[in-house]
Amino acid sequence: MTKTVLLSLLIALPAAAQRYQAPVITDTTALRGPRQPIFFRHDIHAGQDQIPCLYCHSSVAVSSEPGIPALQTCIGCHQLIGGSTPSHQAEIKKVRDAWRERKPPEWIRIHALPGFVHFPHQRHIKALGTQSCSTCHGDVQRMAQVNQVSTLRMGWCVGCHVQNKVSRDCTVCHY
């Protein structure tokens, strides 16, 4: 899907009653996960507005790193979309300012394996499907702020490998 098509699709979406509505959040201190430099909400983008995960994490199916989208991806929409509430407008202003000043936000990394572990994302997406994100990351499209829900410990990896009859040789995950 091209960006223009997706954008017009979003604008054309009727405010249908059955569409998921992300909650209004006034107090962010109770949210789990680290506070990011811009309050970017997955429950609004991936939940309410149904932007596919792969639109932003486009390399997840082809590389070991899913990647965090560049500001260019954001500005493709936010040049036009300024926000419907004062708090949205304030956060979106940060996106526009960052773009103008060429200062991309320094997103805090949430999931991180130690350097001696090898985790090829693309192999997992190929085997488990592009809808499998929630198996490991939980219901991200309902999260206002991303937090880690799986332990990411060795036992967690090996447990699923045993279930799926994947090799559990030490050298599969450790070089």
Q: Which is nearer to ligand HEC, 12 or 18 (CB)?
A: 12
Interface positions, 41-60, toward ligand HEC (CB under 6 A): 41-42, 44-46, 49, 51, 53, 55-57, 60
Binding-site size, ligand HEC (CB under 6 A): 80
Amino acid symbol at 81: I
Instruction: Please give the backbone phi and psi of residue 125, each rounded to the nearest 5 degrees, phi first.
Output: -65, -40
Q: Does 91 bind ligand HEC (CB under 6 A)?
A: yes
In the numeric block, which tokens belong to residue 170?
Answer: 């030490």
DSSP codes of every residue in 111-134: ----TT----HHHHHHHH-TTTHH
- Our measurement of the distance from residue 36's CA atom to the centroid of its chain's CA atoms, rounded to an integer in Å, reads 13
Q: Does 160 bind ligand HEC (CB under 6 A)?
A: yes
Q: Does 9 bind ligand HEC (CB under 6 A)?
A: no
Q: Does 31 bind ligand HEC (CB under 6 A)?
A: no
Please, are residues 59 and 67 in contact by the beta-carbon 8 Å criterion? yes
In the numeric block, which tokens belong to residue 65?
Answer: 């790193």
In this chain, which of 1, 62, 65, 79 binds ligand HEC, going by CB under 6 A? Answer: 65
| 3 state SS of 122 | helix
Q: Does 149 bind ligand HEC (CB under 6 A)?
A: no
Q: Which is nearer to ligand HEC, 18 or 139 (CB)?
A: 139
- The single residue listed with the structure tokens 């926000």 is 83
Site string for ligand HEC, 98-117 (x = CB under 6 A): ---------x-xxxxxx--x
